[in-house]
Amino acid sequence: RLSELMGGRMWVESETGNGSSFHFTILAKIAEQVSPMTVFADNLADKRIVVLDDNAMTRAVLVQQSARWGVKTVSPASGEEAYAMLQAKGADLIILDGNLTSEEWKPALDLLCIENLPHPPAEAPKSDTRSMGTGASGSQTRQSASPVILLQSMPGAGLTPTQMALNITSILYKPAKQSLLFNAIMGAFDTTRSTQLETPVKRSQFDRFGPGDATLGVLLVEDNLINQKVALRLLERLGYQADVASNGMEAIRAIEQKRYDVVLMDAHMPEMDGLEATRQIRRRFPPDHQPRIVAMTADALAGYREKCLAAGMDDFVAKPVRIEELVTALKRAQPTFHIDDE
């Protein structure tokens, strides 16, 4: 009776010795198929994703996949276009090719290190991490950067210093599965969810050195804002906290106000370069106020290392900085009990 009321019928099939089978049919509407991706993708409608990849086919696939979820996705075809796009409008999320390391794309990647995206650069705070000799910790003033999904070509690939300075929330491998990409995108926008990694971020690059001594007083002297960001992130991941000065004069003022165990000194800076700053530090401060000074420079001229040591520096780390060399230089410095001068 019930099946008839629902537009169907009921019948029975019997077989001697085997029993009976009862069957019924009803008429029902086809249920609307709602993909979990469709439900959660509603949260992405107001987001803007920028794909940075020099492969046109990869860009097209990523844009097509994102479009299915209603996400506004743009894919600049060149480094120059990417730089202009990020500078003008910023981004809520970056999908970055891990092999994008050519000079053409460097300005755009550098911009990701220094700008507080998705806010346009014109709206970003101007104070950044420069301490102006006050000893303000760079890690305390850095603001959150746009999340980055890094696409690697093969498992086990390491991260470059620039990539380490980015806010990488996920690492996927090409070609990225649609479900993994979707989870990575949703995870980047949901702070309550754990980071979605196809494999863990290469924390072993840092863990194998052991934890850094957080009591070590570190002063980073660097005039280039991008290099500041990269160095501060590296130091932070190694377990160190650093203050920042933008030139030799600021470094001297910082040391007047606070005792440092080690100074990471850029050689070429305006107002006062690293060599002259080192000479003045060695002349002006008593032995118990002398930090260990490590030159950090890209100058590859023959004899430049000796020139730095002759100026009073204790060690030398070449740019681009290799983690092993930086760790070795830091571990040669001994932390002291700091009592800041009043």
pLDDT at 193: 45
CA 151/CA 7 separation, integer angstroms: 54
CA 315/CA 7 separation, integer angstroms: 88
Contact status, residue 309 vs residue 278, Cβ threshold 8 Å: no
Q: Taking the domain 210-331, which CATH number applies?
A: 3.40.50.2300
pLDDT at 159: 74
How many other β-carbons are positioned within 10 Å of the β-carbon of residue 236? Answer: 19
**pLDDT tens digits, 102-115:** 888 888 887 777 65
> Residue by residue, what is the 3-state secondary structure of the chain?
CHHHHCCCCEEEEEECCCEEEEEECCCCCCCCCCCHHHHHHHHHCCCEEEEECCCHHHHHHHHHHHHHCCCEEECCCCHHHHHHHHHHHCCCEEEEECCCCCHHHHHHHHHHHHCCCCCCHHHCCCCCCCCCCCCCEHHHHCCCCCEEEEEECCCCCCCCHHHHCCEEEEEEECCCCHHHHHHHHHHHHCCCCCCCCCCCCCCHHHHCCCCCCCCCCEEEECCCHHHHHHHHHHHHHHCCCEEEECCHHHHHHHHHHCCCCEEEEECCCCCCCHHHHHHHHHHHCCHHHCCEEEEEECCCCCCHHHHHHHCCCCEEEECCCCHHHHHHHHHCCCCCCCCCCC
Which CATH fold would you assign to the domain 37-202? Rossmann fold (3.40.50)
What's the N-to-C CA distance of the chain in angstroms? 94
Cα-based distances in Å from 89 to 92, 100, 123, 186, 215: 10, 21, 11, 21, 40
Place of tokens 């994703």: 49
**Residue 6 pLDDT grade (very low, low, confident, very high; cuts 50, 70, 90):** confident
| Strand order across the beta sheet in which 93-97 lies | 72-74, 48-52, 93-97, 147-152, 167-173
**Residue 51 pLDDT grade (very low, low, confident, very high; cuts 50, 70, 90):** very high
**Residue 202 pLDDT grade (very low, low, confident, very high; cuts 50, 70, 90):** very low
The mean-pLDDT minimum among 122-126, 209-213, 308-312 falls in 122-126
Residue extents of the structural domains in the chain:
1-31, 37-202, 210-331
Bigger pLDDT: 127 vs 307: 307
Q: One-letter amino acid identity for 12? A: V
Whether 250 has a pLDDT exceeding 60, the answer reads yes
pLDDT at 127: 36
Whether 136 has a pLDDT exceeding 70, the answer reads no
Asked whether this chain's domains 37-202 and 210-331 adopt the same fold, the reply is: yes
